[in-house]
A and B are shown apart, each in its own frame.
Chain A
Amino acid sequence: MLDNLMMGFGAALTPANLLWCFVGVLAGTVIGLLPGLGSTTGVAVLLPLTLSFEPLTALIMLAGIYYGAQYGGTITSVLISTPGEAASVVTAIDGYQMARRGRAGAALSIAAIGSFVAAIVSLVLLVAMAPPFAKLALDFGPPENLAVMLLGLTTIVSFSSGARLRGLAMAVLGILLATVGVDAATGLPRYTFGDVDLLSGLPFVQVMIGLFAVGEVLYQIRQGAAAPIRARFRDLVINREELSRSKGAIARGSLIGYLLGCLPGAGSTLASFLAYGVEKRVSKHRDEFGHGAIEGVASPESANNAAANANFVPTLALGIPGGATTAVLLGAFMMYGIQPGPLLFDEQPELVWGLLASFFIGNVLLLVLNLPLAPLFAQMLRIPYGYMYPLILVTSFVGAYSIDNNMFSVWIVFVSGLVGYFMKKFDLPMAPLVLGLVIGPLFEKALVQTSAMGDGDLTLILTRPIALVVLALAALLVAGPSLLKLLPRREKETV
């Protein structure tokens, strides 16, 4: 394997590949900064530019866009509470609160460090364990996927501390709204009222832009313009205590991200939500979550980067995309005449290992590029809010328009913005709603397939060992806090 990796570095470290890796990472970061333009759109938009490249060079650049955009999305999540990427949604919760407290630079730095560590850890795991993990992922059928999604929902609801019922309501609302559009199994349109634009469902990214960016702006206007942050440059740099607090969060986030990223379809978004939920359970500073806990940035950022890399396990080894962006990359492979799958490692070793080696290089470039720039990005917050929020509104709407090039997207942002404002006003948690919307279609697909496997009997899920373990974990998450509360009381009683 080491020989293969050395061969990969040999292929990736040519001047042309290095240059295009840098261009990809930089372009990805800029694309991620623009609301609505995530890695999927970025890779899709820039794919035609790479058609004249060597396949390896093209894939290196496209992969650079992929993880560059992940970090770019984080920047806007932290600075203006506008996630450029679905996987950065959860980062906005604590990252933005950190920014409002003058710690934007620290949030961005820990995101860069966490992403880097997670990327390197997950890449080592990817290189070492891709074949056995691919075999394990093959054992995941619809019941197991259903169980994983139930675990994701349970986690997200369980971290709506003090407001579990509200969290549950929002998660269920997300799933309900995700049923709008054509039913994947039968082709029957649901809740579309004859509108062609609704056939493909409520556009998730546009809803997200409305809820988070426009909703936040409207809420800030009502609260009275937030004063521009006047933090000194040195206050924007991450300190030792913050680094120390983040270590465990980065390790846990990386592991969760890697494990979930290996599952086809689970993706970075679910990984980031799960990592945040777990961190909120285990952190010593859980009371700070939602108010600017650095672990709330470190963990999901590590998870989404680890998952982004792990997404390549099913993509390369099975030819099944791990997420939306790897689905576009899979299309790119086909365009270059390459067929991903178990034989790819044997037939095109230089390409596979060159691509994997380029991930190492790209992540080093990303860290070198973003760590010094984090405090500079944070200077954006010095702009008076009276100028800032009209610009946020405009970029949000133009970003939403650019996704599908239609005004329907823009109106969705407008309506979602109003909904987001009322959700903030009445303190309704947004994360469960977003997760419900994201996994709704996948959840329904797994539900339909499980039902078909059991001839209508959904208890089939209880007969599958892996699904049972995952469900037990979910049950533990629900019952765990109550059980933990009981433990000390018993100890006291016995003393």
Chain B
Amino acid sequence: MRRLLRGEAAVWGLLVCLSAAMAGVSFGYGVTREGGQVGPGFLPLVSGAALAVISAACLLRSVRRAAPEPEEEAADPRRVRTLWTVFGMLLVALLLVPLTGFLVAFGLLVFAVSAFVEKQRIVSAAGVAVAATVVIYAVFVLFLTVPLPAGLLGVGGDG
């Protein structure tokens, strides 16, 4: 059961809930207008209801297929750990943007992922991070004048 909840069935279950909720909310927008014309809630209702039905059918199929997915079994736990580590670092980089600015946060991300997750040489990882930061600064900030967030440090946002 735990496997089922973690697997494809959970995705379809989530879609059933999401689509049913969106279809339910659509009544509040007005499904039809005067003269029976299509209203703002019509397409959300029809597509939401249709998706709920299709997702329920897919959910049933997944549950009946009960056997664990071979691909799920084949996943290397170390790689799965790496995946969520990178995902977590990405989240940290995004949360750091208001503090350090965009360029510093993402420069640190490149360095940390290359050096500590992918175990590349520290000097090479630092070189790649600096080069990437400079190129992004040149292309986006200087050439395209994109005002990247400079954060509290005020670095690299003078687009």
Measuring CB to CB, which residues of chain A are less than 8 angstroms from any residue of chain B? Answer: 34, 37, 45, 165-166, 168-169, 172-173, 175-176, 179, 183, 185-186, 188, 190-191, 218, 221-225, 384, 386-387, 389-391, 393-395, 397-398, 401-402, 405, 407, 410-411, 414, 418, 421-422, 425-426, 428, 440, 443-444, 447-448, 451-452, 455-458
* Cβ contact of A169, chosen from B58, B75, B79, B87, cutoff 8 A: B58
Contacting pair B120 A387 (CB below 8 A)? yes
Q: Could you say which residues of chain A place their CB within 8 Å of the CB of B76?
A: 224
Q: Are A45 and B128 in contact (CB under 8 A)?
A: no
A321 vs chain B, min Cβ distance (A): 24
Q: Which of B37, B40, B94 meets A456, CB within 8 Å?
A: B37
Across the A-B interface, give the 9 residue pairs with the lowest CB-CB distance, nearest first: A456-B36, A386-B118, A451-B38, A183-B40, A176-B47, A390-B110, A402-B146, A390-B113, A222-B83
CB contact list, B5-26 vs A, under 8 A: 7-8, 11, 15, 19, 22, 25-26
Residue of B nearest to A46 (CB): B144
Set of chain A residues within 8 Å of B39, measured between Cβ atoms: 186
CA distance A183 to B146 in the complex (A): 30
- Find out whether the CB atom of B47 lies under 8 angstroms from the CB atom of A218: no
Complex contact A390–B109 (CB within 8 A): yes
Q: Mark B69-92, 1 if CB is under 8 A from A, else 0.
A: 001000110011011001100110
Pull 23 A–B residue pairs with CB atoms less than 8 Å apart, ordered by A.
A37-B144, A172-B47, A172-B54, A176-B48, A185-B40, A186-B40, A191-B25, A218-B87, A386-B119, A387-B128, A390-B110, A390-B113, A391-B128, A395-B136, A397-B94, A398-B136, A402-B140, A402-B144, A410-B94, A421-B83, A447-B43, A456-B32, A458-B38
| Inter-subunit contact A188/B83 (CB<8 Å) | no
Least CB distance, A163 to chain B, in whole angstroms: 10
Q: Report the separation of the CA atoms of residues A179 and B35 in the bound assembly, to the nearest whole angstrom.
A: 22
Known: A221-B79, A225-B118, A398-B102. A190 touches B40 (CB 8 A): yes
Q: Which residues of A contact B26 (CB under 8 A)?
A: 190
Given contacts A45-B144, A386-B120, A456-B37, 8 further A-B contacts (CB under 8 A): A172-B47, A173-B51, A176-B44, A218-B83, A390-B114, A391-B128, A407-B97, A456-B35
- Pair A222/B25 contact, Cβ less than 8 Å: no
CB < 8 Å neighbour of B148 from A34, A179, A224, A401: A401
- Knowing A165-B57, A394-B109 touch, does A34 contact B139 (C-beta < 8 A)? yes
Contact-residue size bin, chain B (C-beta under 8 Å from the other chain) = 35 or more
* Residues on the A chain within 8 Å of B147, using CB: 405
Please state if B90 and A414 are interface contacts (CB–CB under 8 Å): yes
Taking a contact as CB atoms under 8 Å apart, the answer to whether A401 and B86 are in contact is no
* CA gap between A168 and B52 in the complex, in Å: 12
Contacts known (A402-B144, A455-B36, A455-B37); A169 close to B54, Cβ less than 8 A: yes
User: CB-CB < 8 A to B44: which residues of A?
Assistant: 176, 179, 190-191
Question: Contact: B132 with A391, CB < 8 Å?
Answer: yes
Decide if B142 is an interface residue (CB 8 Å cutoff): no
Taken together as a complex, chains A and B put the C-alpha atoms of A414 and B146 apart, in Å, by 20
> CB distance A188 to B79 under 8 Å?
no
Instruction: Please judge, given known A-B contacts A191-B22, A386-B120, A391-B110, whether A411 and B83 are in contact too, CB under 8 Å.
Output: no
